[in-house]
Homo-oligomer: A and B are copies of this chain.
């Protein structure tokens, strides 16, 4: 009977390895970035605001829980998700958090109140208008994420290079920007900058994953801008 207890304890300890690795906000953010595209330590550190050494250690934690994999490419070490199921688990976690923790909605609403007029556009009407060409859809994430996968019909206009592309964007037509998802602020920033210059810009809340879940078309590896 004591052997049973020991068996159970060691099994649940293994399960807990995964959730322990997920129990740090910074690691969740790292994983979230890796859901979009694979990346080097340095880049991940910059995107999350961590020191390189610190980011590296967080990444080791995730790796020893077998959630991500590392591959050496020349000078860089490229990290990527170890399994598609990791993405699913992460989004299940996010979904449950959104549903059960009302604080998240509060925080989001508060944030959007500081950026007035940025309520997300409706997904269904958007889809219709993208199809008919009545709307220009732009993906404002870094180019490597666009390449890894983007909504069909979207143009690749990373936020950093927004100004370069201004003359190729229509002034009279609606422009809809999207990024990594509801908690990524790239699209918010993009819309604000575009509006300041007189464009009719709006924000799509979804990211590529949400779009894909709905069975909507995704393209990859075709960097047409």
With A and B bound together, what is the CA distance between A92 and B126 in angstroms?
A: 32
Interface size bucket, A side?
35 or more
Interface residues of A in 1-50 (CB under 8 A from B): 3-5, 7-20, 22-26, 28-29, 32, 49
Q: List chain B residues, Cβ under 8 A from A32.
A: 12
Interface residues of A in 173-217 (CB under 8 A from B): 183, 185, 189
Q: Is the CB of B92 within 8 A of A14?
A: no
A82 contacts the other chain (Cβ, under 8 Å)?
yes
Q: List chain B residues, Cβ under 8 A from A89.
A: 89, 92-93, 96
**Which of B4, B16, B29, B97 sits near A18, CB closer than 8 Å?**
B97
Q: Is the interface of A mostly helix, strand, loop or mixed?
A: helix
Q: Which of A3, A14, A22, A65 has the most CB of B within 10 A?
A: A14
The interface stretch among A107-115, A117-125, A162-170 is: A107-115
Q: Which of A19, A28, A101 has the most CB of B within 10 A?
A: A19
Q: Is the CB of A92 within 8 A of B94?
A: no
Q: List chain B residues, Cβ under 8 A from A24.
A: 16
Q: Which of A3, A5, A11, A97 has the most CB of B within 10 A?
A: A11
Q: Is the CB of B18 within 8 A of A114?
A: no
Q: List chain B residues, Cβ under 8 A from A111.
A: 3, 7
Q: List chain B residues, Cβ under 8 A from A12.
A: 25-26, 28-29, 32, 183
Chain B nearest CB, measured from A1 CB (Å): 9
A residues touching B (Cβ–Cβ < 8 Å)?
A: 3-5, 7-20, 22-26, 28-29, 32, 49, 65-67, 82-83, 85-86, 88-89, 92-97, 99-101, 103-104, 107-108, 111, 114, 183, 185, 189
Q: A13-B25, A17-B101, A66-B101 are in contact. List 20 more A-B contacts (CB 8 A).
A: A4-B189, A5-B49, A8-B29, A8-B183, A11-B104, A11-B108, A11-B183, A12-B25, A12-B26, A12-B28, A12-B32, A14-B97, A18-B93, A18-B96, A19-B28, A66-B100, A82-B100, A89-B89, A89-B96, A92-B92
15 residue pairs bridging A and B, Cβ less than 8 Å apart: A3-B111, A7-B183, A7-B185, A11-B108, A12-B26, A12-B32, A15-B25, A15-B97, A16-B22, A18-B93, A82-B100, A83-B99, A85-B100, A88-B92, A89-B89
